[in-house]
Amino acid sequence: MDSIQNGPVAQGMRQEGAKTSSEFRNLANARVPSGKATANGQPLTHYHSFFYNLLSWENPRATTVSFISTVLFIFAARYLPALRWIFKILYITLGITAAAELGGKMVLSRGLASSFRPKKYYTIPRESLEAALEDLEQLINFFFIEFQRILFAEKPPQTITAFVVSFICYWLIKFTPLWGLSLIAACGIYLGPLIYITNQEIIDEYLQNATDVVNAQASQVRDLAGHHTSRATETMKAYAGDYTSKAQSYIGSARSGSTSPVASPKRTKSGSVGTAGPGSNPAYTSADFPHAPKQEPALGATSHQEQYENSQFGGKAAPAY
């Protein structure tokens, strides 16, 4: 018996147990504020450092135990009727208590269950309750802050990863049960960081190459878009200049056609200058008209010329016909 207890197997198990206990203590001690803050300066909760320590496999034994426990819990919730067992234990306990109380009063004139009643019922100390509520508050704020950091793209790679995971889960949930989806999520959360840490150099190299390709394509697209934009701008400026010149020529011709002609001044026989315009009466003087005869036409005159010569003017002015 001593050889088994002090053998190499027992010693190895005790050493592994001591290391596991030490790692669990380290994991518990990691639940302290990390001193880091978000992009807007808000301090992080102590669960940020706790989950970082847990998922970064800094304490591999503690992380392994946590992962196995999570997987076993998922399978137990799927295949074990835990809720029925809880109600079964509850009704059996209450049935035994009621039977013992009634039987004791009938046989011993005092209840058996009431005889074990404590003088003061147990309560949760206020300090413990406040510490538990504060711890629960920090845990809820951890998930809430992380969701907002992903939603508002504080770190674009995390936002892209969350988008891909959400898209995959949207299609998986159509033909995968909830427990299967929970198992896949647990494996991804625990094993994803382990795969990255183990192959960090290779993964970083591929990510850098992918980033370079994306940046090159984005730069090419920006240059092409700028080239087409400049050409479109020049074309629009040319069209605008042509349409502007045509519009100005049309406006100038319309204005020249709509102006009224101005009559040139005319000089009358008397030497005065008169302006005759459309619809206006010309300026005439008495000198422009012949003198009217003031005596009766002479007898025996057979023509206008003879009558004029026999008149008072005596042929001084040519008669007007």
**Nearest alpha carbon to residue 28 among 54, 67, 1, 57:** 54
Give the pLDDT score at 143. 93
Distances (CA, A) of 73 to 28, 68, 76, 77, 287: 21, 9, 5, 6, 134
**pLDDT band per the 50, 70, 90 thresholds, residue 300:** low
* Whether residue 278 has pLDDT greater than 90: no
Q: Which amino acid is at 250?
A: Y
Q: Are 298 and 310 in contact (CB under 8 A)?
A: yes
User: What is the rounded average pLDDT of the residues 170-186?
Assistant: 92
Question: Cα separation of 317 and 298, whole Å?
Answer: 18
Give the pLDDT score at 163. 94
pLDDT tens-digit map of 5-33:
666 677 778 788 888 888 888 888 888 87
List the single range of 47-51, 133-137, 142-146, 301-305 with lowest mean pLDDT: 301-305
Give the pLDDT score at 321. 44
pLDDT tens-digit map of 74-122:
999 899 998 899 999 999 999 999 998 898 888 888 888 888 888 888 8
Cα-atom radius of gyration of the chain, to the nearest Å?
A: 57
* Whether residue 314 has pLDDT greater than 70: no
Give the pLDDT score at 94. 93
* Whether residue 273 has pLDDT greater than 50: no
More confident residue, 177 or 246: 177
Spatial neighbors of 177 by CB under 8 A, at least 6 apart, are: none
pLDDT tens-digit map of 45-83:
888 889 988 999 988 999 999 999 999 999 998 999 988
Give the pLDDT score at 289. 62
Question: Cα separation of 289 and 26, whole Å?
Answer: 135
pLDDT tens-digit map of 185-241:
999 999 999 998 999 899 889 888 988 898 888 888 988 888 888 888 888 888 888
Beta bridge mates, 273:
267
* Whether residue 304 has pLDDT greater than 60: no
Concatenating the DSSP letter of every residue in 208-262 gives HHHHHHHHHHHHHHHHHHHHHHHHHHHHHHHHHHHHHHHHHHHHHHHHHHHSPP-
Give the pLDDT score at 104. 86
- pTM more than 0.75: no
* Whether residue 266 has pLDDT greater than 70: no
**pLDDT band per the 50, 70, 90 thresholds, residue 271:** very low
Give the pLDDT score at 251. 82
* Whether residue 36 has pLDDT greater than 70: yes
Q: Residue 196 corresponds to which tokens in the numbers above?
A: 């990255």
Give the pLDDT score at 269. 46
Instruction: Enumerate the H helices of the chain as residue ranges.
Output: 2-5, 8-29, 46-55, 60-79, 82-107, 112-115, 126-151, 156-172, 178-198, 200-258, 304-309
